[in-house]
């Protein structure tokens, strides 16, 4: 089997300088010198696959992308992209890949959007005429055609992000890394990007996309397979359907309540596999998600809340989502 | 055509493009790149005229003023450029692309030379029209001297680009620190020989020092006695610098990239 991307026991550790104050203190978990960004990561992405890396901020997704796009070296382990080792054969990898990051605003404000993407295409040996034609086609797809001859500095943030997508796809890469490509975009712009990515993989049999996201809906909608990553470790890797099956025999209970003083009581309730909580600062309410194996736990959960004299504003039992898979694995929500 | 050659030629043209366009699209350069240098030129011209110095000295100053365009370009748009590219998020896209990193710097240099040549020519034209320098001779030797000076100078800028990136924010201060002292020790507005042999010799490591000195000797042969070395020797030294600096730039770039891949953070702008 030819893998577009393969990693074996991949590790990446960042060393950070400790401040003078920290050097005087005993090393603790907070001020430690080394940060483990990736810990023994093993993934295999098939050619033609749309593969998702789902995880919260700081999980190691971007670090993995940086290694695969030859910008970083692994500390330990190995990685191959299009069959080439990332540490040794960078030229052959770089000719076949491209990468787009959400929130990017690369390019020069003085140049037009079209000139900017043309410039980047020249670093990949794309003939000028081909690049200009592809740029126009992609600008049409992303709804930027009318603005293609405007200076980049006059474009909005969302438009620049779409220009980043044009830049990434203008080289017609075999493998593209999309790092949170819809980050901060409005609903419509995100939908355009998601539709384009899905169509691109479907229409080109051998093209591969590795997408990182912390939007579970995006991963669920787009990806053939998803790896859930947290604190540098890949926790599970399967199709979204199979992942959801792992919690299907469980139920997901969502509660919106007044904040409690102590949430640890929920840990002692039998039948709760895991739960997450976050406080909505706008409503000042706690949003709790419980993955429960035994329905009897529901009454105990409600007793804890009402026992503290707090109000239950909403109670829902829902179909499992990828976020529920994440909650059941790590005990906290994605965002 | 060989794929590497084709790719790198395209990359040079691609990276030169913003600088070429920038020179033509932003009229603000007329003020910053021409009028301000002309003011500096005017100050020296009036001093020389007040001291009744030979008219060739007016020519020295105009030439020096014109060459400031190249020096400023090397300092701020070559040496400091990779640092700015990192800040705006372009550098990681450049480092991920398959072209040689030297093509990236080469493109910056080609575009910079184009833009600075326009600025320098305009400065010379205005300087000559305003201050009426002496009659010029234009020997052919001027062409290789000028070209080799630019290759050595931009080679030095390419080398500094990697070093500035490693120095991080201090790059800004380094550039500021180097700007005025180099004007002085390289003799932008007076013959460098006036600083004494050893100071002038030390300053010769900066290619513009000998480049200016040679061009002055060739353009104003009547005051060639002010030259530091004979033009042929200066050309020889410039050729050596034009070979050494690009080689050192290549080594520094490779080291920087290797360090960046090992450490992370040097070329990357994290979200």
Q: Tokens 């998803």 map to which residue?
A: A226
Which of A53, A63, A189, A333 shows the shortest CA–CA distance to B271? A63
Q: Which residues, 6+ apart, have CB-to-CB distance to A124 below 8 Å?
A: A95, A98, A171, B7, B97, B98, B99
| Separation of alpha carbons A288 and A332, rounded Å | 10
Quick: pLDDT tens for A252-294.
889 999 998 888 889 888 888 888 888 888 888 999 999 888 8
Look up the ipTM and state it: 0.87
Q: Is B268 inside a domain boundary? A: no
pLDDT at A296: 85
Does residue B270 sit within a domain?
A: no
Q: Is the Cα dihedral A84, A88, A92, A93 positive or negative?
A: positive
Q: Is the pLDDT reported for residue B140 higher than 80?
A: yes
B233 versus A183: the higher-pLDDT residue is B233
Q: Is B22 inside a domain boundary? A: yes
Q: Can you give the pLDDT at residue A27? A: 63
Do the beta carbons of residue B103 and residue B15 sit within 8 Å?
Answer: yes
Q: What is the mean pLDDT of residues A44-51?
A: 96
* Stretch B255-264: mean pLDDT: 88
Q: Which residues of chain B have a CB within 8 Å of the CB of A97?
A: 96
**Mutant choice from B81, B96, B260 vs A, greatest count of A C-beta within 10 A:** B96
In a domain, B269, yes or no: no
Half-sphere exposure of A334 (CA within 13 A, CB side): 18
| Largest separation between any pair of C-alpha atoms in chain B | 61
The 3-state secondary structure of A265-281, one letter per residue: HHHHCCCEEEEEEEEEC
Q: Above pLDDT 70, what percent of chain B?
A: 96
CA–CA distances in Å: residue B40 to residues B33, B44, B51, B74, B123: 11, 7, 17, 19, 11
The number of domains in chain B is 1
B137: pLDDT strictly greater than 80: no
CB contact under 8 A, A14 and B264: yes
With 0.90 as the threshold, say if the pTM is over it.
no
Which residues in chain A touch residue B94, judged by CB atoms under 8 angstroms apart? 123
Give the pairing type, strands A84-85 and A76-81. Answer: antiparallel
In which region does residue A40 sit, left (phi positive, over 0), alpha (psi from -120 to 50) or beta (all else)? Answer: left
Domain presence at residue B271: no
Mean per-residue pLDDT, A146-154:
95
Strand partners for B138: none
Distance, in Å, from the CA atom of B11 to the CA atom of B20, rounded to the nearest integer, reads: 14
pLDDT one-digit tens code per residue, B48-92: 999 999 888 999 999 999 999 999 889 888 888 888 888 888 999
Distance CA B228, CA B231 (A): 9
The per-residue pLDDT for range B215-234, each reduced to its tens digit, is 999 998 888 889 999 999 99
CB-based burial label for A19 (10 Å; 0-12, 13-18, 19+): exposed
Instruction: For residue A211, list its beta bridge partners.
Output: A52, A178
Q: How confident is the model at residue A248 (pLDDT cuts 50, 70, 90)?
A: confident
Looking at every residue in chain A, the average pLDDT score rounds to 90
d(CA A327, CA A161): 31
Q: Do residue A125 and residue B96 have CB atoms under 8 angstroms apart?
A: no
Mean pLDDT across chain B:
89
Q: Tell me how many residue pairs between chain A and chain B have CB atoms under 8 A apart.
A: 98
pLDDT tens per residue, range A317-327: 887 788 888 88
C-alpha of A84 from chain center: 24
pLDDT of residue B102: 93
Rounded Cα gap, residues B256 and B86, in angstroms: 13
Could you tell me which residues are beta bridge partners of residue B262?
none
The Cα angle at residue A37 between residues A32 and A42, in degrees rounded to 5: 140
Task: Tell which of B14, B84, B115, B168 to mutate to test the A interface (max A CBs under 10 Å).
Answer: B14
Q: Which one has a higher pLDDT value, A152 or A246? A: A152
| Mean per-residue pLDDT, B18-30 | 82
Contact B57, B133 (CB under 8 A): no
pLDDT of residue B119: 87
Does A211 score more than 80 pLDDT?
A: yes
- Evaluate whether residue B105 is within a structural domain: yes
- B98/A91 touch (CB, cutoff 8 Å), yes or no: yes
Q: Please state the rounded mean pLDDT for residues A12-41.
A: 76
CB contact under 8 A, B90 and A107: yes
User: How far is B64 from chain A, CA to nearest CA, in Å?
Assistant: 30
* A41 sits in which H/E element: strand A34-41
Look at residue B271 in the predicted model and tell me its pLDDT: 41
Token digits for B245?
Answer: 């600096």
Give the structural domain span for B130: 3-263
A180 touches chain B (CB under 8 A): yes
Q: Is B98 on the interface with A (CB under 8 A)?
A: yes
Tokens of A222: 């787009």
* pLDDT beyond 50 at A89: yes
SS3 content of chain A, % helix, strand, coil (to 5): 35, 30, 35
């Amino acid at each position: 089997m030819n893998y577009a991307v393969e990693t074996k026991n991949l590790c990446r550790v960042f060393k950070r300088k400790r401040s003078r104050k920290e050097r005087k203190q005993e090393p603790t978990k907070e001020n430690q010198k080394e940060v483990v960004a990736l810990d023994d990561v093993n993934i295999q992405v098939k050619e033609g696959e749309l593969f998702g890396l789902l995880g919260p901020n700081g999980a190691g997704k971007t670090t993995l992308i940086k290694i695969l796009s030859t910008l970083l070296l692994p500390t330990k382990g190995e990685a191959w992209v299009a069959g080439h080792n990332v540490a040794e054969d960078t030229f052959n990898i770089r000719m076949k890949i491209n990468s787009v990051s959400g929130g990017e605003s690369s390019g020069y404000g003085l140049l037009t959007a079209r000139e900017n993407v043309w410039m980047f295409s020249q670093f990949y040996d794309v003939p000028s005429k081909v690049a200009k034609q592809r740029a126009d086609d992609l600008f049409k797809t992303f709804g930027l055609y009318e603005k293609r001859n405007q200076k980049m500095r006059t474009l909005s943030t969302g438009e620049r992000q779409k220009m980043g997508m044009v830049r990434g796809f203008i080289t017609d890469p075999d493998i593209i890394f999309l790092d949170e490509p819809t980050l901060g975009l409005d609903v419509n712009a995100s939908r355009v990007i998601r539709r384009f990515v899905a169509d691109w993989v479907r229409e080109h049999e051998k093209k591969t996309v590795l997408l990182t996201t912390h939007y579970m809906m995006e991963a669920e909608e787009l990806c053939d397979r998803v790896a859930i990553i947290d604190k540098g470790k890949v926790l599970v890797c399967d199709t979204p359907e199979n992942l959801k099956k792992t919690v299907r025999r469980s139920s997901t209970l969502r509660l919106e309540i007044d904040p409690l003083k102590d949430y640890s009581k929920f840990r002692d309730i039998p039948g709760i596999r895991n739960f997450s909580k976050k406080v909505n600062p706008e409503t000042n309410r706690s949003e709790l998600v419980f993955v429960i194996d035994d329905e009897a736990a529901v009454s105990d959960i409600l007793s804890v809340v009402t026992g503290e004299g707090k109000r239950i504003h909403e109670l829902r039992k829902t179909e499992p989502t990828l976020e529920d898979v994440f909650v059941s694995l790590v005990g906290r929500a994605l965002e | 055509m060989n794929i590497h050659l084709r790719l790198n030629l395209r990359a040079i043209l691609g990276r030169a493009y913003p600088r070429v366009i920038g020179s033509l699209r932003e009229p603000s350069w007329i003020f910053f790149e021409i009028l301000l240098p002309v003011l500096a030129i005017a100050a020296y011209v009036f001093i020389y005229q007040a001291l009744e110095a030979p008219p060739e000295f007016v020519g020295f100053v105009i030439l020096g003023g014109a060459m400031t365009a190249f020096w400023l370009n090397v300092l701020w748009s070559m040496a400091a450029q990779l640092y700015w590219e990192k800040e705006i998020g372009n550098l990681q896209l450049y480092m991920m692309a398959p072209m040689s990193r030297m093509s990236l710097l080469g493109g910056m240099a080609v575009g910079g030379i184009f833009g600075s040549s326009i600025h320098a020519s305009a400065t010379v034209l205005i300087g000559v029209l305003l201050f009426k320098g002496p009659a010029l001779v234009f020997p052919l030797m001027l062409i290789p001297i000028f070209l080799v000076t630019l290759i050595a100078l931009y080679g030095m800028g390419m080398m500094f680009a990697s070093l500035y990136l490693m120095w991080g924010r201090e790059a800004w201060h380094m550039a500021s620190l180097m700007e005025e002292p180099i004007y002085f020790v390289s003799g932008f507005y007076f013959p460098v020989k006036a600083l004494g042999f050893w100071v002038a010799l030390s300053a010769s490591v900066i290619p513009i020092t000998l480049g200016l000195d040679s061009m002055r000797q060739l353009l104003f042969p009547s005051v060639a006695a002010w030259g530091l070395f004979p033009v042929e020797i200066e050309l020889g030294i410039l050729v050596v610098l034009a070979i050494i600096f690009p080689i050192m730039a290549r080594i520094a770039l490779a080291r920087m990239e290797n360090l960046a891949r090992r450490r992370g953070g040097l070329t990357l702008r994290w979200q």
